[in-house]
Structure 1
Amino acid sequence: MSDIKNEPLYQQIKNNIIEQIQSGKLRVGDRVPSEKELTEEFHVSQITTKNALAGLAEEGIVERIKGKGTFVCESKLTKSISHSKTSKGIIALILPSMKTKIEQEFVNYIEKYVSKNGYHLIIKITRESQFEEADAIEMYRKMNIEGMIIFPTEKASYNEAVLRLTLDKYPMVLIDRYMKNISTYSVTSENDVGTSDAISYLLTKGHEKIGLISPIFTNTVTEERAAGFENAFLKRGTTIDKNLWLTLNFNDISRSKTPTYIKEFLVSKPEITAVFTMNVELARYTYLAITSIKKETLRDIELLSFDPPGLAGVSFIKQDIDECSKKTVDLLVEQIEGIYNPQRIFVPVQVIVNEEEPL
């Protein structure tokens, strides 16, 4: 074996990048550190790092795109790695549905980070059934998979199968929701802070009678968002009217009847000038109701939603799905590698006004 010290500096940098590709830290499409970043990392001149990247580009390992950077591209090297590299194992993702864009984004980013860490991902959709959730957990335990990422169902109580995973210290991370007073790993967005900021924005605009449309409060997500709603009024010293809150049972939420039900509620509360909805599905149903009311009476009601509903002119709270997914996978890999230190992580959100300007 040749002494690495005898290799030119640019070759050492090339080898370092190739090793990152071989280990899976860098995959096809990933950006390679810039000349400046490599200069700072290796304490060499920028000419040296430029030669290293140019050499990799000549060999077809990376592609340099002017104004954007250097990226790993499909090559003999990456193809040989994909054929020869063995997976570290399988990670399971259990989620209630994949109806919304948010859920689809979570799956996309979780798969990305699971793959980056050398694992394969398998998915089970429970369709909001705790029985399906319990069966999936039992099935995956028998399969001896490495760990699980679980979006719990929207039920009032947590599944006993999920609790057993926690008691057994089985590698597992809850995402989106968490278990109160139970020490486990979880990653969720800052639901209370985000909702408080959103309602504060509406109050600042002069809205005092703000309606809330929500599923019944059965988990930490809805509870925290409701608390954030109340906190905005408390901070402003404004009286909150909970008669303007409409909570719906999950079985009553459907496209066929919910828009009509929301319309009847809003018509019965003419003082409401703005509405906050807990999720995208309710935002779309509320939008239909508001549109119908406006056509009939010219009454205009401002709508704001948690998560982007894809409706022009509707402000919303934006979760950082990428960061939530990365944190989740990092915590699971930590457990798989033998570290057990349960923690609850909250990821910041942004209020996006009219889909344009963040507050």
Structure 2
Amino acid sequence: MSVPLYQQICNDLVKEIKTNNLKVGEQLPTEKELALTYKVSRITAKRALSELEQMGMATRIQGKGSFVTKVKKVQFSGTNRRLLFVMPFEGMNFGNFTPGLLPTINAAEITLFMTYSNYLRENSATSIRENFDGLIYYPMHTEDFLDVLLELSMYNFPIVLLDKKIIDLPFPCVFADNFNGGILATHLLIQQGHQRIAYVMSNEPHHPHTTRNRYLGYIKELKENHLSYHTTLDDPLATVEGILKLIESQALTGLVCENDLVALQIMGVLQQQGYSFPMDISIIGFDNIQATQLSQPGLTTIAQDFQKMGQVAGEMIIDWLDHGIRPEDKKVDIQLIKRNSTRDIS
């Protein structure tokens, strides 16, 4: 994922200051000079300088320009630094990030507080900034709490996202390689001889980028193997509600589901109609939730490394707090876990 242009300019200026190429008291390039150098608008250049001011590394003097400011170094210890980890809701049955996140945060002698998404509804951006030094946020829906998140971004408040990128806000994100996951799931079915494979979703009207990336991996693998049949993201039959009609009308033998919950729901619906897995239909999910090991048959799935994602998120926000530079997005590898819900039909 590319860094916004204003952030690229800001990062370059920070490096110049930290390497002493730009010294304390020295004037920074003007908006016009930055705009010409980076071939960007004056607005973009102005935002880069504003970011530098918010980080405490520059001071703007009316009518003269911006100048490098001496940054006060603060030594933190233990409970002086506080991070908030916001999860979608209590009792989540997927996405256990804490085994990777908690040791990473503890090793940096930072106190971690965990709460649920209602906290962002019930507390203002000002309150969050006053009580915490940073935030790790696992959004259920990327449209939620945009007012609070936007205000926090305006103060360059460190926020690292898990799993889902909020496209219009400048927060770095740690996410699984969902695109490759879609490729791996589809590739397995093609290897097993399946040629009519559907991508099946929930009936949600909007699909998060995780679902879209998995779908794009599915399409890519079909195209590379010259298989013409595929479902679309807006196909009403490519859902739990429409799957029976889709299978019967399209003679499907393989299903790639957007997640394990959808896959398990489909298995239940089809088993009630007399279908057998994998004799009649092969099916694959995503996420490797605990129920996939208990289903009959066990569900083949694409596993995200939640522990690694938690660790990486912790490392990113610690680095941001220590050095004042917003990190870039990070992608974590996925793994195909083959169980008994798929079979070779070739």
Q: After the TM superposition, which segments of 4 or more aligned residues of structure 1 sit over 6 Å from their partners?
A: 296-299
Q: 8 Å contact 1:262–1:286 — kept in the other structure?
A: no
Aligned to 1:226: 215
Q: Mapping of 1:31-110 within 5 angstroms? A: 86-103=78-95, 105-110=96-101
Q: What is the Cα deviation at residue 263 of structure 1?
A: 5.5
Q: Which of 202, 220, 226 in structure 1 is aligned with 2:189?
A: 202
Equivalent pairs counted in the alignment come to 258
Partner of 1:334: 319
The amino acid that maps onto 1:91 is L
Is it true that 1:317 corresponds to 2:302 in the alignment?
yes
Corresponding residue SS for 2:283: strand
- How far did 1:146 drift? 1.5
1:276 is aligned to 2:261:
no
Q: 2:140 aligns with which of 143, 149, 153?
A: 153
Unmatched 5+ residue regions in structure 2?
A: 1-76, 342-346
2:162 to 158, 161, 175: 175
Please, what TM-score do these two structures have when normalized by structure 1?
A: 0.63
Note if contact 1:314-1:354 (Cα within 8 Å) is conserved in structure 2: yes
Unaligned runs of 5+ in 1: 1-84, 249-257
Once the two structures are superposed, what CA deviation does each residue of 1:292-336 show, in whole Å capped at 9, x if it has no partner? Answer: 233599971111001112334321101111211111001111111
Contact 1:92 1:147 in 2 (8 A): yes
The 1:158–1:266 alpha-carbon spacing in structure 2 relative to 1, beyond 3 Å, is farther
Displacement, 1:219?
Answer: 2.2
Change in Cα spacing, 1:239 to 1:142, as seen in structure 2 (3 Å) is same
Per-residue Cα deviation, 1:5-53 (whole angstroms, up to 9, x for no partner):
xxxxxxxxxxxxxxxxxxxxxxxxxxxxxxxxxxxxxxxxxxxxxxxxx
Report deviation, 1:345.
0.7
Name the aligned partner's letter for residue 289 of structure 1: V
Shift of 1:162: 2.1
Shift of 1:136: 4.8
Q: CA deviation at 1:189?
A: 0.5
Q: Determine which structure has greater relative contact order: mean sequence separation of CA pairs < 8 Å that are 6+ residues apart, divided by chain length.
A: 2
Provide, for residues 110-142 of structure 1, a one-character-per-residue CA deviation record: whole Å limited to 9, x for no partner.
223222322222222227xxxx64435637515
Is contact 1:294-1:300 (8 Å) kept? Answer: no
Superposed CA deviations along residues 132-181 of structure 1, whole A, max 9, x for unmatched, are: 64435637515421210011232557723223333321111011011336
- Deviation of residue 213 (structure 1)? 2.1
CA distance in 2, matches of 1:317, 1:117: 32
What fraction of aligned residue pairs are identical, expressed as a percent? Answer: 17
Q: In the alignment, is the contact (CA less than 8 A) between 2:275 and 2:281 conserved in 1?
A: no
Structure 2 distance, partners of 1:265, 1:136, is 47
Structure whose residues are more often helix by fraction: 1
Q: Secondary structure at the match of 2:217?
A: helix
1:185 aligned residue? 172
Match of 2:131 among 131, 138, 144: 144
